[in-house]
Structure 1
Amino acid sequence: MIVTLRGAGLTVGGVALLATGFTYGYPELAVLGATAVIAQLHAFAHAALRPRLSVTRSVDPDRVARGEGSTVTLTVRNTGRFGAATLVAHDRCGRPGQHGATVPVPLLRLRPGHDTDVSYPVPTDRRGVVDVGPLQVTRRDPLGLVSVSRSHGDTARIWVYPKSHLIQAVPAGISRSLDGRLDRVPHGAITFDTLREYVIGDELRHVHWRTSAKVGELMVREHLDTSLPQLVVLLDDRAGSWADLDAAGSTSFESACEAAASIVSAATREDLPVTLHLVSGPAAGGGRIRGAARGLLDLLAEAEPATGDEELLVTATSRLRQHRPGDTLIYLTGTAGLADLALVSGLRGPFPSVAVGVLGPRLAEEPQPAGVLLLRAEDGEDFAAVWDGVTRW
């Protein structure tokens, strides 16, 4: 509960008039002072009454690409039986950790049993996560002497994905030959991958009867199309890799996120398995992209340059070397991360195909990584053009 400037002035003046009237025998001043004090007490009682409000929130849609529209709709209902609610409301709408980002919601004279719908657009000009809610309702007395704010309703979250550029070229898959060599698969090949439990719809010709007899339930062979590449995208989210990073963010890092989103979108169209890893540790994806696209893009929306050093990249490359989640690695970094490309080039053994995407303004002298494909681009759109220009992976 907050006493407004008007309320504070009225209280001080009322007490002064009341004291002067009693001290010097002026009943008129005493009456004026008592009236002011009573008005202030009435304001406290009025503001202390808690309005009975029901607040429901909907977001359509809750996941959008940067620049696309998203709308929050609030339905506020006065569930009280007596008295209209004169309210001033503000809905929080900002990024996690950000303060002061609110949207005004007009709720003046909301009668009992009635509701009102209020909609407002969500700012989607920047990639990231936007938290909305709860609704802060401020109640004031008719004279504006006291105000009190309370939270109503739940919260929601909107993921703003990076802009995706259309890319066409997708690298070919890798197949291991019987003599130990690594060959590209020109026309596709179906090879055994693993055994799993039988589910309704599986073909009986894929049942592995010997294993089924041992475990006591039907087991089927699952095959893998080796002509389809298994993509692994490693995004460098170390703050030191982005030379233009400041309090407002990094344009080059945003371009790298656009490049990653473009690769994910291309894999979605081709129904390719893909995984996304951040150098700082978080990862998403695996398996067919249609079941994991939301998790991949959510991770891209949440990614922010984090304080770290070369040790983070050492840990990330060691993890990829041990687990080998795919056959084609695409590493995205900034111009300040060129000095660490030797760590990524060392993955040329576990990953038959390694591509390095460097985003940011071109430098006078840039090292050329050995044994890997270099995709040099200034922004996300330029990266899409460079990617489509690759003739062989």
Structure 2
Amino acid sequence: MKRLRGITSRGAGVAGAAVLLLTAGFRFGYPDLALLGAAAVAALACGVVFAIWRPRLGVERVADPDRVARGEAARMTLTVRNTSRLRAANLVAVDRCGGGSVPVPLLRLRPGSDTTVDYPVPTTRRGVVPVGPLRVTRTDPLGLLTLSRTYGETATVWVHPRIHLLRAVPAGMARSLDGHIDKVPHGTITFDSLREYVVGDELRRVHWRSSAKVGELMVREQLDTSEPTIVVLLDDRASAHPGRDPESFEIACEAAASVVAAAVREDLPVTLHLVSGRARGPFLDVLTEAAPGDGDLEATVRSLRQSRLGDTLVYLTGPGGRADLGTVSALRGPYAVVIAGLLGDRGATPVAAGSGVIVIEAESGEQFAGAWDGVRGW
């Protein structure tokens, strides 16, 4: 619990008047002035006693749900219990919700009883919405002093970008062994690493030469390289999304979330990268926190070329990234399929596809999904 104390402008005036009246009264022998000064001091003392009373409250909050897509409904249930043994609480508290506040009336809340308030959480914008803590402010009847205290912890509601249904999924260079992807022939099982033998492992997988060197059985770990992998690169540079609160970046986040969701639905490996750095944590949470900033596209392209994390690259950028499509096209060699999404560039001249790069231009997330499904010959 945190405390925030403050004297109001009226209280400051009364305190100043008290000093002047007491000084004048005692120094020049005016008892009436001294009496007025003493009354002002008494008023301040009573204000302190009134405002300093601390209500003992227990606060619990539950978000339902705590992760939603942009525009979906989310509610916060706040339960406040009076844990005092003697005095009833008669207060009006305020609960912080994002950039606004919600009044929470605590009228005649008897000791041991509780009250519950349920209110919607704004989800019109993508981002992390902090909710809480509960703030209780007490002011004395004369308005001389105020004392604010906060109760409870802060809850978080994650407003994810919208996900649009993508029916088509790039096949990449190889297909999985279960036959879901059939664009090209089967891939292969290749060596990945060595590990210690575990009871039940097949003896034909034992690497005898390494086992002889180490002194214990070592087993080959193998990797199925036949499964296509999608790499999503979100351009989060401020230069790629000009303007304040750029709409193009919101569209790019929606497109990235849609591609990730489509890959997960088809049980295909997918990775998410930002130009500013590799995504760490759940991908939808990363996209929720993402914001335009600094980044080096050329360095990111070099890293992706060297590491070759998959066979399909999806690059999503805004109007400012139009001139960088040539830089991204250099990945056409290491990645069999390169798709560039140019988003939010209204009224611009369409980009001619070149260097084997598939270019999708869209002014909204819905338009991106339609254009994506309309691509032929991944």
How many residues are matched? 364
Deviation at 1:72, TM superposition (A): 1.7
Amino acid across the alignment from 1:224 = D
1:245-300 Cα offsets, whole Å, 9 max, x none, are: 21xx111111111111110111121111101111111324xxxxxxxxx7111111
1:378 aligns with 2:374: no
Mapped contact 2:172–2:337 kept (Cα < 8 A): no
Mapped contact 2:314–2:341 kept (Cα < 8 A): yes
Alignment-derived partner of residue 62 in structure 1 = 66
1:327 aligns with 2:314: no
Alignment-derived partner of residue 86 in structure 2 = 82
Mapped contact 1:86–1:140 kept (Cα < 8 A): no
Decide whether aligned partners of structure 1 residues 391 and 370 sit closer, same or farther in structure 2, where only a CA change above 3 A counts.
same
Alignment-derived partner of residue 179 in structure 2 = none
Q: Distance in 2 between matches of 1:241 and 1:187?
A: 38
Decide whether aligned partners of structure 1 residues 388 and 322 sit closer, same or farther in structure 2, where only a CA change above 3 A counts.
same
1:167 aligns with 2:166: yes
Mapped contact 1:188–1:225 kept (Cα < 8 A): no
1:305 aligns with 2:292: yes
SS state at 1:340 partner: helix
Alignment-derived partner of residue 296 in structure 1 = 283
Match of residue 76, structure 2, among 72, 75, 79: 72
Q: Distance in 2 between matches of 1:153 and 1:270?
A: 42
TM-score for both structures, normalised by structure 1 = 0.81
Match of residue 2, structure 1, among 3, 6, 15: 6
Decide whether aligned partners of structure 1 residues 327 and 68 sit closer, same or farther in structure 2, where only a CA change above 3 A counts.
same
Amino acid across the alignment from 2:224 = L
Amino acid across the alignment from 1:388 = D
Amino acid across the alignment from 1:313 = L
SS state at 1:174 partner: coil
RMSD of the TM alignment (CA)? 3.2
Alignment-derived partner of residue 180 in structure 1 = none
SS state at 1:301 partner: helix
Decide whether aligned partners of structure 1 residues 135 and 2 sit closer, same or farther in structure 2, where only a CA change above 3 A counts.
same
Alignment-derived partner of residue 338 in structure 1 = 322
Mapped contact 1:377–1:386 kept (Cα < 8 A): yes
Amino acid across the alignment from 2:44 = Q
Q: Distance in 2 between matches of 1:207 and 1:154?
A: 56
SS state at 2:292 partner: coil
Mapped contact 2:361–2:368 kept (Cα < 8 A): yes
- 1:121-270 matches, within 5 Å, as 121-175=120-174, 185-186=183-184, 188-189=186-187, 191-192=189-190, 194-195=192-193, 204-205=201-202, 208-210=205-207, 216=216, 219=219, 221-224=221-224, 226=226, 228-243=227-242, 245-246=243-244, 249-270=245-266
Alignment-derived partner of residue 390 in structure 1 = 375
Decide whether aligned partners of structure 1 residues 21 and 86 sit closer, same or farther in structure 2, where only a CA change above 3 A counts.
farther
1:118 aligns with 2:117: yes
SS state at 1:68 partner: coil
Decide whether aligned partners of structure 1 residues 337 and 369 sit closer, same or farther in structure 2, where only a CA change above 3 A counts.
farther
Q: Percent identity?
A: 52
Q: Distance in 2 between matches of 1:196 and 1:80?
A: 63
Mapped contact 2:135–2:151 kept (Cα < 8 A): yes
Q: Distance in 1 between matches of 2:94 and 2:149?
A: 10
Mapped contact 2:190–2:222 kept (Cα < 8 A): yes
Match of residue 280, structure 1, among 276, 280, 303: 276
Deviation at 1:14, TM superposition (A): 6.8
SS state at 2:277 partner: coil
Mapped contact 1:206–1:221 kept (Cα < 8 A): no
Decide whether aligned partners of structure 1 residues 350 and 300 sit closer, same or farther in structure 2, where only a CA change above 3 A counts.
same
Moved more, 150-159 or 249-258: 150-159
TM-score for both structures, normalised by structure 2 = 0.84
Mapped contact 2:174–2:228 kept (Cα < 8 A): no
Amino acid across the alignment from 2:206 = W
Decide whether aligned partners of structure 1 residues 64 and 336 sit closer, same or farther in structure 2, where only a CA change above 3 A counts.
same
1:91 aligns with 2:103: no
Decide whether aligned partners of structure 1 residues 389 and 119 sit closer, same or farther in structure 2, where only a CA change above 3 A counts.
same
Alignment-derived partner of residue 178 in structure 2 = none
Mapped contact 1:207–1:220 kept (Cα < 8 A): no
Mapped contact 2:332–2:355 kept (Cα < 8 A): no
Decide whether aligned partners of structure 1 residues 206 and 141 sit closer, same or farther in structure 2, where only a CA change above 3 A counts.
farther
Structure 1 unmatched runs, 5+: 95-99, 177-183, 285-293
